[in-house]
Structure 1
Amino acid sequence: MKKWLGFALTLCLIVMLAACGDNNKTEENNSGEKKNEGTSEAFTIGVIPVQTEGAMEGAMDKLQTLLSDKLNRDVKVEVYPDYNGVVEAMNYDKIDMAYFGPLTYVVAHEKSGAEAIITQLIEGEPFYHSYIITHKDNPYNSLDDLLKNPAKINFAFGDINSTSGSLIPSIELKDRGVYQSEDDNKFKTVRFTGSHDATALAVQNKQVDAGAIDSAIYNQLVESGKVDEKQIKTIWKSEKLFQYPWAVHKDTDKDTIKTLKETFKAIDDKDILGAFGATGFTDASNKDYESIRQAAIKQGIIKE
């Protein structure tokens, strides 16, 4: 009887050990499955709000579908509410790629090593300008006219981190002795509208006397009928600025970069191109933004 009892206990022990082995295999399999799932995580892209978010939604859906197909993985494109949010998302590894303004790009490159790979073309050229615009009813036909009595002027910038909507025009106004900061200037009022279309509409609706805006976005707003060109005149134009870059996370592999470049340069969808005021895309690199980096250093935004 004791022999049979000992045999039964031994058998139970064997069964229990076998079950533990199966559980360990299951855990290993589950772990392996999770690892495989990790490699197929969505490729995430953050986009600065060059226009109000609703105006870009349909185009971003199309871009998301196109890139998902070409990369053979899920792609998620998100328009962020402000420029700085995209920089921080790249800095904290929340996104794999970003559409930056030139200024936000040089900041992101300094902070996280983001690398520009693509930029947009406007009528075949990878350049644009910063404009200062005013309503046609105003007596100002030049920036000199506008600044004769700045204490009477309500002035609008776009996003505080915008290149053409803030950095470049603020340097021009600083050089002319009328602007140091939002709180230190000679204007009647200074405001930051947050986007280029908001600035254009503020000028058109006479909510401000003048505003700074991206030339390509302004032309797009006119072409789409969102802004009436007959109501607005341009009184200042900057030197050429290299266009907005698409930049990847520093750890992005070469094959993905190659696919992204090929895909962007082949885009001819008018909705996608139109969202950026573009006629196409071309290669870009960090060296293309050296002049913006120097401007950011001059304004104390980044250190040399």
Structure 2
Amino acid sequence: MKIRLRRHAMTLAAVLTGLALVASGCSDSKSHSLNAQGFPETLTLAAVPAENSADLKASYAPVIKLLEQETGSKVQFKQASDYAGVVEGIIAGNVDLAFFGPFAYVVAGINGAKITPLGAVVQAAGGSPGYKSYGLTKSDNASINGLKDFAGKKVCFVDPSSTSGFLYPTAGLISAGVIKSGSEADISAGVTPIYAGAHDASALSIASGTCDAGFAFDTMVDKTMIDKGDLKPGQLKTVWKSETIAGSVFAANNALGTDTVEKLKTLLTTKLNAANLKSSGICADECRITDERAWGVVPATDADYNGVRKVCEITGSKKCKG
């Protein structure tokens, strides 16, 4: 699998993607004509891959089918290489719905995106939204047994806009005394950062020895990569776990209007789950949604992401300041 190494959140590809999302469509969402079911004729859904994916759209197929079935809208899917492009698309009125990691959701609001959370993903029926960041190293690396041992090492982060791949790890490294703040200079003074671009790429870089240690979110390491055969059980060891982080979230552009946003919120939290997707014939097997392979969506509020805002204060990350 090809591993992308990025040292800045805004790459040329992200700029081009952002421009494409901003430019796509000729009118603001509010000016779209409504269909017989009271929804826009077209809904644009944007997302950024959590792993290196050549076809992110495939993991969103059940979401797209449900939206089209229930709203009567044509759903256009946009795969972005960076959340900056998604945020700019929302601000320009050319992205109606987006799937955000918690940090990206908070940063989107800081940067002027007017959005409402529709619901957060859960991994099992009856579960609570949320996940953890893992600090990782190779299982046979006896010299690294905690975050303090990351000092001076080559450390894989995911992306400066990643919640579990950068923000919470940075707070953990500050608490461990490895770095003083989340600034680029302080991080580089404490460790040699490598930005892998995706959670699976980060884990693979650790497994191959490209990075001495690094970070990825729990399900990616414990289940997804093992199920795909990319990692062997026990190949990596977890030397640190973050506190529970608010779940990744679907959000709507407020330009859709209050009534449409509320209808979408009800739709996603009552019908976007594996049980309903299977019973309605949208998918036949596991019916997992997004590339986080979630079971479904449950209600979420903006206040649920105050923990992320608190970690922003701890790290002093420039990303948190718009």
Residue in structure 2 matching 1:139, options 125, 139, 142: 142
The corresponding residue for 1:31 is none
- Name the CA distance, whole Å, in 2 between partners of 1:226 and 1:88: 34
Q: CA deviation at 1:289?
A: 0.7
Whether contact under 8 Å (1:46, 1:98) holds in the other structure is yes
Q: Secondary structure at the match of 2:220?
A: helix
Give TM-score scaled by structure 1 length: 0.79
Q: Which runs of 5+ in 2 are unaligned?
A: 1-29, 35-39
The corresponding residue for 1:248 is 252
Once the two structures are superposed, the pairs formed by residues 212-291 of structure 1 within 5 Å of their partners are: 212-219=215-222, 220-252=224-256, 253=260, 254-265=262-273, 266-267=276-277, 269=283, 270-273=286-289, 275-291=291-307
Whether contact under 8 Å (2:118, 2:264) holds in the other structure is no
- Name the CA distance, whole Å, in 1 between partners of 2:32 and 2:245: 42
Q: Read off the aligned partner of 2:215 and give its amino acid letter.
A: A
C-alpha distance 207-67 of structure 1, shift in aligned 2 (>3 A) = same
Q: CA deviation at 1:193?
A: 0.8
Q: CA deviation at 1:90?
A: 1.7
Q: Which runs of 5+ in 1 are unaligned?
A: 1-34
Q: CA deviation at 1:55?
A: 5.5
Please say which of residues 286-295 and 135-144 is displaced more in the overlay: 135-144
Q: Which has the higher helix share?
A: 1
- Deviation per residue, 1:179-200 (Å, 9 max, x gap): 3434433445211111101101
Taking only the aligned residue pairs, the percentage that are identical comes to: 27
The corresponding residue for 2:130 is 127
How many residues are treated as equivalent by the alignment? 267
Please say which of residues 186-195 and 115-124 is displaced more in the overlay: 186-195
The corresponding residue for 1:292 is 308
The corresponding residue for 2:117 is 116
C-alpha distance 183-267 of structure 1, shift in aligned 2 (>3 A) = farther
- Deviation per residue, 1:2-53 (Å, 9 max, x gap): xxxxxxxxxxxxxxxxxxxxxxxxxxxxxxxxx9974454201111221113
Q: CA deviation at 1:234?
A: 0.5
Please say which of residues 38-47 and 195-204 is displaced more in the overlay: 38-47
- Name the CA distance, whole Å, in 2 between partners of 1:107 and 1:64: 25
1:78 aligns with 2:81: no
Give TM-score scaled by structure 2 length: 0.75
Q: Read off the aligned partner of 1:73 and give its amino acid letter.
A: S
